[in-house]
Structure 1
Amino acid sequence: MANSKREKTRVTDIIKPEDISKWKPNNNVLISSPMGAGKSYFCKNTLYDIAKKTHGKILMLIHRSNCVEQFKYEIDTDGKADVIEVITYQSLEYSKLHNTNKFNLSDYMFVVCDEFHYFFNDSSFNNKTAVSFKMIMSNTDSIHVFMSATGEHMARYMKKYIKDNKLEDAIEYEIPFDFSFIRELTFFHKDVTMEEFLKEGIKKGDKGIFFIQSAEKAYKLYSKYKKYCVFNCSSNNSKYYEYVDKDKIKQILMNQRFEEQFLITTSCFDAGINIIDTDVKHIVIDIVDIGSLIQCMGRKRIQNEEDKVSIYIKIINNQKLAGLKRSMEQKIEMADFYMQNGYSVEKLIEKYPMQNDINNILYDDLMKDENGNIIPNSYTKVINEPMYFKKKEDIADYSLMLEKYGKFGYCKYLAATFGFIDEETGSYTYRMINEEYELEDYLRKMVHDEVVLLQLRDRSELIKKINAKQDGKLLKKAGTLNKVLEEREIEYRIKEFSTTRYIQDENGNKKKKVYKSAWKIVPF
């Protein structure tokens, strides 16, 4: 592992009060720093002191409601609610869309966008992130401070937005990432392996956190081991939120630790929450989005050089990466056509008659004149730019994993990001768990018994055992199945060959029959 130890740099080390004194209203300040580098401390102290002296106000925008409660508690405890107001991005969007005029951004000296990757990451399930973004960017009376540990993609979009709208260049500050807190990096394939991790942890008395994208999957795991676990999911989840112990979650937010052996949560805890507990040694992650995945890793706040964690990540194999890439390309298809054809609504309707964009990347909006007044009975199609650019960035990431890194592209990409690569040899130092014991035993027996599968009906058991699917359907071609076996690091392959058999009919006569594409399993 190539990570090197270094003295930890904090935001207050790179941004001094004299730097802030040079910021002006309508400036956009981008702060990129690792989790735990003191972004919140910087706001609650350095920015607070400056705003307080000038009788200014600070608006803190946070993207998770439970994080708002935690931050409000800290602000109140520190006696700083006189200057700092904390709300969610979603409440800002609601006020704009419903014309409540509840928030006037011009009232604030600083508008701080915490975890500003929100505009991108949450756009996959909240098509209104563009509303709060445009509100902030169109406000010329405040200094806009954008902070994130994983805001690289959003920062690229912001720079394009700034250039397109002829705004002053962003002021940028960056602290390099340091993933030396990762003791070991492990990848696994199957959901059942998470349960094995849990059972092993219970035996050893270890503490850990499970981040699982699916609330259903997270709850099912929790329900088997309630005695050892605490469960959390979004309050918006009507099916599973009833099983959340709200008092326990509140205590976790306040105390920044949990007393059970394991916290099992969805990505609703992917940001904002801090876990300060050197006994937490393991973090298991089953989340697709890379930015959210990295945020999950940062929920445990590292206390010293000896405070390290083992990270376990569910694999996305190359076949699924290709599927995700294809899915993203399909989602932006209508928006691409619209842009490529001069934003012509007529051409869009001709190409896609009687169709709406189900992904909400394209939406209807009222037309306005040069003074911003609504033109009666007129509307047009508008592209939700944060959502569109997020999909484009995802496509680029998936392409990179597939084309640059090849076999196990997802694992190699993350290993390179986290420093699990030997720079001299170019070899990766992550660990991969082999979970295909049953399949390997089955294939080994087929080789030993010299089984030959002559026809399609003979292959059904093998195909079911491999259980490789695309769009919910079992894959059945030898070449495709061999790629799956290769991706899973299984040392057997399907050999397709021509063979002859003599078939005896009901009269006892033997007839020669040629099978042009028989299968057999061979070691690889």
Structure 2
Amino acid sequence: MLIDEKFGEQFVFSTSTLDNGINLRDKQIKYIVADIMDVDILIQCLGRKRIIDKSDKVTVIIKNISNKMLNKLIRDCDKQIEPALYLQEHGTSSYVEKYRKQSNRIVYDRPVNNEVGYDKAINDLMFFKEIYDKQFFEQIASEENGYMNYIKTKLQQDTYIILDDTYDKADITDYLDTIIGKRLYKEEQAELIKKVNLRDGRGRRQKDVEQLNIYFQKNSLPYNINNDSKMNKDRRRRLDNGNANPNYNKRYWILAKHMVFD
């Protein structure tokens, strides 16, 4: 790999160690998948793939960090920073008394010259890194999808796609295709509502046909629910096999699928 700047296998799995002096100049590399939280290291890793010319395209897949997770990271930074600040202000004895059972990656034990024992000291480099990370997390958490928008800007891209949304849409499409043209009574309606899982701003699940149809339209899903109160009422007293119809006189929905032309 060092000499040819390529690899022969279909996949290469690596830690971030790969970003140390490795260049990959190969148009056969079509995907890069990265699960690295530190943005600077992430950029270095992505840079191992050297773009040869304008026809050299690669799809980059990056693990997203939600705003909820960012807030947790901010709290984690505070758990490291606050004891260090306390040590600066109150000294070792008070620190040990207060944080005896709490580990800290910033504070370490420093031997005391010419004495038996140790003192508590702060790793300045790690201390400032925690402060930097906290400020960075707070900055990108201040807007919706802040992390991915930041990454988009760093990579000089116009748009990005959330794969979870793509997979969710594929799953719901597979399900909807199985119920096209079928009578959907109360239980089937409840299942459809649960599958779509459309919620309003207060988190309440939406059950109205009109709202569901708007959801299909906004998400470019070629489906529509027919809920004609006059037409959609099961008038069959008996089923085709001769048995009594358990849904006689009950209302139902019908799901239709539209033709889509590119």
Q: Which has the higher contact order (CA 8 A, sep 6+)?
A: 1
Residue 97 (structure 2) aligns with: 350
* Distance change >3 Å, CA 308–CA 378, structure 1 → 2: same
- Structure 2 segments unaligned to the other structure (5+ residues): 177-183, 216-262
- Counterpart AA for 1:430: Y
**SS of corresponding position for 2:49:** coil
* Offset from partner CA, 1:110-169 (integer Å, 9 cap, x none): xxxxxxxxxxxxxxxxxxxxxxxxxxxxxxxxxxxxxxxxxxxxxxxxxxxxxxxxxxxx
Residue 386 (structure 1) aligns with: 125
- Structure 1 segments unaligned to the other structure (5+ residues): 1-251, 368-373, 422-428, 454-461, 466-489, 498-518
* Distance change >3 Å, CA 448–CA 410, structure 1 → 2: farther
Residue 431 (structure 1) aligns with: 161
Provide the rounded CA distance (Å) in 1 between the counterparts of 2:109 and 2:127: 15
**TM-score normalised by the chain length of structure 2:** 0.63
Structure number with higher strand proportion: 1
* Offset from partner CA, 1:327-381 (integer Å, 9 cap, x none): 2222333112212x15x112212322x32x52331011123xxxxxx33225311
* Offset from partner CA, 1:50-83 (integer Å, 9 cap, x none): xxxxxxxxxxxxxxxxxxxxxxxxxxxxxxxxxx
Residue among 399, 403, 408 paired with 2:145: 408
- Counterpart AA for 2:137: Y
Residue among 169, 182, 189 paired with 1:449: 189
Residue 493 (structure 1) aligns with: 199
Q: How does 1:19-58 map to 2 (within 5 A)?
A: none
Provide the rounded CA distance (Å) in 1 between the counterparts of 2:16 and 2:29: 18
User: Would you say the 8 A contact 1:267–1:296 is kept in 2?
Assistant: yes
* Distance change >3 Å, CA 448–CA 407, structure 1 → 2: farther
**SS of corresponding position for 1:287:** coil
Provide the rounded CA distance (Å) in 2 between the counterparts of 1:284 and 1:336: 38
Cα offset, 1:441, TM superposition = 6.7
**SS of corresponding position for 1:436:** helix
* Distance change >3 Å, CA 399–CA 447, structure 1 → 2: farther
Residue 105 (structure 2) aligns with: 360
Identity %: 31
User: Would you say the 8 A contact 1:269–1:296 is kept in 2?
Assistant: yes
Cα offset, 1:306, TM superposition = 3.8
- Counterpart AA for 2:11: F
Q: How does 1:122-201 map to 2 (within 5 A)?
A: none
Residue among 16, 29, 42 paired with 1:267: 16
Cα offset, 1:411, TM superposition = 0.8
Count of paired positions? 198
**TM-score normalised by the chain length of structure 1:** 0.34
Provide the rounded CA distance (Å) in 2 between the counterparts of 1:293 and 1:310: 15
Residue among 283, 289, 296 paired with 2:45: 296
Cα offset, 1:447, TM superposition = 11
Does residue 65 of structure 2 align to residue 316 of structure 1? yes
- Counterpart AA for 1:307: D
- Counterpart AA for 1:412: N
Provide the rounded CA distance (Å) in 2 between the counterparts of 1:447 and 1:413: 44
**SS of corresponding position for 1:364:** strand
Provide the rounded CA distance (Å) in 1 between the counterparts of 2:15 and 2:189: 46
Does residue 251 of structure 2 align to residue 521 of structure 1? no
Residue 136 (structure 1) aligns with: none
Cα offset, 1:297, TM superposition = 0.5
Q: How does 1:201-216 map to 2 (within 5 A)?
A: none
- Counterpart AA for 1:297: L
User: Would you say the 8 A contact 1:282–1:311 is kept in 2?
Assistant: yes
Residue 375 (structure 1) aligns with: 114
* Distance change >3 Å, CA 443–CA 308, structure 1 → 2: closer
- Counterpart AA for 2:95: L
* Distance change >3 Å, CA 295–CA 495, structure 1 → 2: closer
* Distance change >3 Å, CA 321–CA 286, structure 1 → 2: same
* Offset from partner CA, 1:433-483 (integer Å, 9 cap, x none): 3222477579989997257x9xxxxxxxx7xx9xxxxxxxxxxxxxxxxxx
Q: Give the number of the structure whose alpha-carbon radius of gyration is greater.
A: 2
Residue among 111, 124, 134 paired with 1:395: 134
